[in-house]
Amino acid sequence: VKPENVHLTLKFLGDIDPGNVENISSTMKAASAKSAPFSLTATGIGVFPNMKRARVLWAGLTEGVAELIDLQKELDAALVSCGFKREKRPFRGHLTLARFRDRMNPARLESALKDAGGAHVGQWSVEELILFKSDLRPTGPKYEKLAVHALALNSQG
């Protein structure tokens, strides 16, 4: 994945009616106002769905996860008013680092992941929610920002 395309998905919306973008954006703005900025740390890597059929290499999240889950739940609940269903599966925040086009050798992959262990991937400040439009291309996805809303809760009380 190109570094500029690495992102954390809180809610996948699928195909949406362009006429609904403003309503979704307003809903996101209200949800973002209920969360203060926070730090997030990514440590450790793994694969989806499993070693034998690995398609995605991901980095896990270790610090700031409680705040992230609160934000995701707030957003998920708010988007019900826009016609989206609540997620039934538990949220598992991760960063997609790579996608495998070809089948990987499970033994070599497992060895590489073991060698990487709990590698520190990065730390950053989460300060905004972004509504992205993705255009899937043979060369990889191209993302366009449709709306950006700052996390705005005043943590000073």
Residues acting as catalytic residues = 7, 94
- Give the CA-trace dihedral at 146, 149, 150, 154, to 10 degrees: -170
| Alpha-carbon separation of residue 132 from 61, 72, 108 (angstroms) | 21, 16, 35
